[in-house]
Structure formats: C-alpha cells, structure tokens
Chain A
Amino acid sequence: MAGIEITGLHKRFPDGTVAVERLDLSIADGELFVMLGPSGCGKTTTLRAIAGLERQTEGHIDIGETRVDDLPPADRDIAMVFQFYALYPHMRTRDNIAFPLRAEGLPEATVRERVDEAARMLQLEALLDRRPSRLSGGEQQRVALARALVRQPQAFLMDEPLTNLDAEIRADMRTEIKHLQSRLGTTMAYVTHDQLEAMSLGHRIAILNKGRLEQVGTPMEVYDRPATLFCARFIGSPPMNLVPVSLDDGALRTTGGLALEPPEGIARGREVVAGVRPEALELVASGDGATPARVVSEEVLGDEVIYVVDAGGHDLHVRMPPASRFAAGAAVGVRHTGAPPPLYDPDTELVLA
C-alpha cells in the first residue's frame, strides 16, 4: 500500500479545453479519498491520469516512493474499477477474477487460492462458474471489485463504480466498500458525482469544479462549513438555504426578518450570504415570536418531512420530523435553531466566517 501525491497536475486537451487546472492533492496511505463534482469537473480525468490512461500536460504524480509520470498503466501497480464493470463477457466469473493474476504469470495454485479468497470476501462463491451475462448489475460490480482486489495493488482507483446500480443495491455496496476498505486498509481514490455517496464513503472529500479544487475536508467539515458557494450548493439534499443577510443589532437578519446567530468577528453592515441547512430551521405555529412564513409545499418522506416555506420572498427548505403536519398554504413561523451559519462573500463566493 502507498499514498498518492499529485503536484501541479494540469491537463489540456488538443482542442484547448482544460480539464484539470494545476491540481494539488495528497492521498494518504490507507485513505479512502473521494473526488466529487459534477460531470466535466475533471475528476475522472484526474483519476485516469493517476492510472496512466491519460498523460498530463504538466505536473507530477507519485505513488508511494515512485514518480509514475512516464510509466505505462501496467507498471504503476494500481487496480481500477470502472463504471461499466468492464468484465470480459466470454469468461466465467472465476476466470475474470483470475485474469490479472494470469497476466502476471503466477502459478495456477496461487491463482486459485487468491481467487477463492477474493470470492469469499465479496460473497461470490456461488457465482464463480457463471458468465457475466447471467449476473445482475450488483453481482457484476462485485466481480469487478474482486478482480481489482486479487491483484493486491498499491492503490485502488474507482470510477463511479455504483452509478449504474439500482438505489437499493447501491446503498448495500456503499456499506460493503466502506467496510472492505477499512478491513484491508487499502489506499482508495474514488470518483463520484453523488454527494451522498461521497459523504458516506470518504475519509476525506475533494470537491472539484471546472478542473479546480474547491475544498478538501472530512465529510462533516465539508457539510458544516462549505468553503465556497459552489460547495454549499453541491453538498446536501435538499441543498443549503443561501439567503442574503445583513448584520444589525448584533443579529444577522434576512430581508424576510429571520434572525440568525452571528459568528464571531464579522464586519458590521456588510452584505453577505448565509448558508443555513434545512435541519437548522424549524417550523412552529404562527405567532410564537417566530418569523412569519407560508408553506409552499410539503414533501412527506417517511422518516422526515421537507417543507418549502416562503419567508418574506425567500423560499426556504426546512427539514422536520415525520410527525409534523403543516398543510400547503398554511401560515407558520420559522425559526433558526442551529449553530451560527457559515457566511459567504457574494462577490468572491468564498466563506467569510
């Protein structure tokens, strides 16, 4: 196992588009590191550059002690799992998993042993003699994982491996990958566009946008204090409420009159944007000293209810427990309950406090 060090990675395609712009990342040995961003943000290009499937225009990549810039993919000692599984359709599961080992020319007894071990770990024993066409999507992806595992490489690269699976299987596989990674202690670079997947899997998350790094941090750091407005919009569903506020009388107030607790050391009179998570707001019966608002819509999600309320011209998302019942159109009060929200400069889009 080894860490991955990326310095000044830059990738410009011949048509002039810059996919990755001077990116610095440091993935620790044994870390599950997630690169998150919308399509076209450069996350997949970065991963492919680490794998050697893409040659960077500038910058360096080190895996462990080795600078791999000029090494072909086969010599980098890494394994990659793709979105489209990329299983060989004419081979049984067993042979698919054994393929990279046979490519290394290992003795057949070792191959068999390692395949059986990987199959046991991913609960594939019953499927070893089937061909990919007779496996479900989740099973195929488990086989693809097993094929990556048997190599015992320096690092795993995962390119949206769960995107094509049904929601249920996706949640199970998420748990499985997380558990497997912590058990094996492997270094894993994981690319996804799904913020929920990134949050639940990653030890740390790097949020990319248009080839640039927006933020790196643990899931809770990224969730509680997004570094930019882009991150604030990208992480969390329903997304963070971003409301223009001004500071007076020691309180932050929105134009709708909602009062928020101000953080320390914020300049008075400045126009800023506050980021308020839906769970940091609560609805109460109107009156009660809360800011008046009107319910726009109610979404009952079983274990919670998401309300959209109109508070003085701003739509706010509010997350409430399942027992709450406010009908659409009802007059209610809305109140801020959480810690001081992060504030953003509307011009630079960066977090202030």
Chain B
Amino acid sequence: MGAIHAKGMRKAFGDVQALDGVALDVPDGAFFVVLGPSGAGKTTTLRAIAGLEKLDAGSVHLDGLDATRAAPAARDLAMVFQNYALFPKKTAAENIASPLRARKLPANEITAATQRVAELLHIERLLQRRPAQMSGGEMQRVALARALVREPRAFLMDEPLTNLDLKLRVEMRTELTRIHRSLGRTFLYVTNDQVEALSMADQIAVLRAGAVQQVGVPREIYERPVNRWVAGFVGSPRMNLLPCRPEGRELVGEHGWSLPRPPWAMGESGRPLLLGLRAEDLSLERRDEHATLGGRLYALEPLGDRTLVDVDLGGTVIKVKARPSVTGRPGESLSVAVDLDRAHLFDAETGDAIPR
C-alpha cells in the first residue's frame, strides 16, 4: 500500500496556470522526489495530492482508489511542511500526538506512539518544549515526528530542509534516507534543491511551469537530460550552454570558436544548436589538441576541494572545474580542453536534446 497515481492534474490561480497537466506515478515504497524551481508547481502538486487544493481537472488515485474528491483527513497521508507548521502553543509531545488525538486514540496508546517516534528521531529531551524554545533543526525533527507517528499511506514532504543551515541539511539528508529505508514506506518529497534530489531519490520528476519535463533515476537525469532546461537546472555548477551551428565536420560557435562535430550529431542540418558542457567535462590540462576552446580568465572561484575557473569565450562565460591549486590572473588567455564524448547537444529553438 502507498502507491500514488496522479493524472492530468490542472490547477489555475487567477491568470497563473500552476499545474498544466501534471501526471505522477509513484510506486509503493519509493523515495520519489519532485524537483523544480520556485513557481514550478511543486507545492501545488503536493497540496493537490494531500487534498488541500481542489483540482480544476485531473484525478488522484491512492492505492488504486479514486481520491480526487476526498477530504484531506480521509486520504490517510501525512505531510511535513516547509515552515514545519508546528502549533506554537503546544509542546513537542502535544504536537506529535495531534494526529492521534484527532483520531481519538486512547491516551496510553498516544503516549506510547509518541515515545516510540521520539526515540526513532532522537528527540526525547525535546518533548516538553514548545516550538519557540527549539532550534530550526529541532523543530524540523518534531515536524517529522508528527508525520511519522501514524502509519499513513504515504509521507508528503514540502521542502522540509530548506530552512536549515547547510550542515544540518547534509546531516538530515543521510537521516531521511535512513528513515525511509527503515520504514519502507512511500515518500513523496518536493524540493528546489537538485543536490537533495540527486542524493536521496530513487526516482526524480523534474517539474517546470506546471509540467513534468523528465522522470528518471538520478543518474539518468544528470547524464541524459531530455532538454536544455533540465540540463541547466540539475547539476552544480550549472551546465555551460554554448550557442553554435554545425558546419561540415565542425561545430562553430557564435564567438568564433570551433570544435569537431561529435559523430552522433552528424545528421543535424545547419540549424542552430546549443552545446552543453558540464564543468567537470572541461579541463585546463591539454588532452586533445583538436577539442579546445580559447578564452580569457574571467574569475577564479576556489571551493576547497576544487576551483571553478570562469573563462570568457568572448561574450559567454563558461565554468571549468579545476584542481584546487590552479592559479591565474583575470585577463590572461587560457585553453580549455573539451571531453566531447560527454558533451550534450540541444536544439536551440525547441531546447530538446539531440538523441545519441
């Protein structure tokens, strides 16, 4: 139990079409992540599945049963909100017990369940505190406990880590993976952070402007983006996208550079393309004399384990991943080696990937 099946979900707020035919197929027990920028309709998707938002069209099936019109309480789902939504006047224990109280369980069962979930999340010492007396990370854990205290069909999570600092976010990522594995239940998780999506998900659905762009396992999304938009959104630093045009055996860029045309892109006629190069597929070390781009150093960004080198190709700035020891002065000329085997090509007009 715990499969979620949504079809053709549409929802408009005034002039804004928040959902424009979103379909999701979440298998039972999956850690399914909906990834997209703010305004893509992620939260609306989640709220529609939870029953907090009425759909203009489309359906939501839970375990094969039509739940499109069911009240939130009847759907048997638990949700974790971005701002935790802990009731400020209640202690952690009362907050956690709230869903059980609403279902009028006997007091001793409520206490036992609260205790059990508090142990699972290591928050026993917080139980008597109110939200105002907790840190962000602690509130986050209590909010999680309130969702976990029942055994619902599925857990819906709306950017639960967004308000935490970096260190806690990294910790909670591992923690959530662990909890998911130990519970074996469906997690439907919404985030705008591609690192969270890549690191935790079994499957990712990338959402943009109310429409699903691509569904797949993390590696697929990263290595085979279906369009320029997914390519640009997933991965940090963002994939470099260079406008170019195929000419004979070469790709010629708008600032005069040229690279050998990858064999799988030979079929393309002269229409404009975008060459997609990830920072790690570029290098300042000479590898292949043929596949190089010349440019000037724009800025150096040391990140500790690597340094990002920004190279100005004459109007377009690309990012190159380099060793942390790299040095240079802005303005000096550089030669960037390109790993063409790992390059991506997109149609400049439609944005769709040219298949290999």
Q: A-side interface residues toward B, CB under 8 Å?
A: 38, 166-168, 171, 174-175, 178-179, 182-183, 193-196, 199-201, 219-220, 223, 233-239, 277-279, 296-297, 299-303, 306, 308, 319, 322, 328
B50 close to chain A: CB less than 8 A: no
Selected contact of B165 from candidates A38, A166, A199, A279, CB within 8 Å: A38
* CB <8 Å contact, B304 and A236: yes
Interface of B is mostly: mixed
- Interface residues in B297-339 (C-beta closer than 8 Å to A): 298-305, 308, 310, 317, 319, 321, 324, 330
Interface centre among B193, B233, B299, B308 (most CB of A within 10 A): B299
Q: Per-residue 0/1 for B198-221: is the Cβ within 8 Å of any A Cβ (1 yes, 0 no)?
A: 111000000000000000001100
A196 smallest CB distance to B (angstroms): 6
Enumerate chain A residues within 8 angstroms of B218, measured Cβ to Cβ.
300, 302
* Docked pose: A94 CA to B178 CA in angstroms: 53
B283 smallest CB distance to A (angstroms): 13
Enumerate 6 A-B pairs (CB-CB under 8 Å) in ascending A order: A220-B304, A223-B302, A233-B167, A297-B178, A302-B222, A328-B181
* CB <8 Å contact, B303 and A196: yes
B234 close to chain A: CB less than 8 A: yes
Enumerate chain A residues within 8 angstroms of B181, measured Cβ to Cβ.
328
A36 smallest CB distance to B (angstroms): 12
* CB <8 Å contact, B199 and A301: yes
- Interface residues in B87-121 (C-beta closer than 8 Å to A): none
Selected contact of B199 from candidates A171, A277, A303, A306, CB within 8 Å: A306
Closest A residue by C-beta to B281: A303
Given contacts A238-B170, A297-B174, contact A319 B305 (CB under 8 A): yes
Closest A residue by C-beta to B169: A237
Given contacts A219-B304, A236-B305, A319-B305, contact A303 B38 (CB under 8 A): no
B28 close to chain A: CB less than 8 A: no
* CB <8 Å contact, B236 and A167: yes
* CB <8 Å contact, A178 and B302: no
* Docked pose: A237 CA to B173 CA in angstroms: 13
* Docked pose: A174 CA to B238 CA in angstroms: 13
Closest B residue by C-beta to A196: B303
* CB <8 Å contact, B37 and A166: yes
Given contacts A171-B237, A200-B303, A219-B302, 17 further A-B contacts (CB under 8 A): A167-B193, A168-B232, A168-B238, A195-B166, A196-B303, A220-B302, A223-B302, A234-B167, A236-B305, A237-B166, A237-B170, A297-B177, A302-B223, A302-B278, A303-B279, A303-B280, A308-B174
* CB <8 Å contact, A194 and B238: no
* CB <8 Å contact, B37 and A303: no
Q: Per-residue 0/1 for B153-195: is the Cβ within 8 Å of any A Cβ (1 yes, 0 no)?
A: 0000000000001110010011001100100000000001101
Given contacts A193-B165, A303-B278, contact A171 B236 (CB under 8 A): yes
Enumerate chain B residues within 8 angstroms of A233, measured Cβ to Cβ.
167
* CB <8 Å contact, B167 and A171: no
* CB <8 Å contact, B317 and A200: no
* CB <8 Å contact, A223 and B279: no
* CB <8 Å contact, B298 and A179: yes
* CB <8 Å contact, B298 and A175: yes
* CB <8 Å contact, B301 and A200: yes
* CB <8 Å contact, A279 and B330: no
* CB <8 Å contact, B330 and A183: yes
* Docked pose: A171 CA to B317 CA in angstroms: 12
Selected contact of B301 from candidates A195, A201, A297, A322, CB within 8 Å: A201
Given contacts A179-B330, A220-B324, A279-B305, contact A302 B234 (CB under 8 A): yes
Given contacts A193-B165, A303-B235, contact A175 B219 (CB under 8 A): no
Interface centre among A38, A277, A303, A306 (most CB of B within 10 A): A303
A203 smallest CB distance to B (angstroms): 10
Given contacts A175-B301, A303-B321, contact A200 B330 (CB under 8 A): no
* CB <8 Å contact, B173 and A299: yes
* Docked pose: A300 CA to B222 CA in angstroms: 10
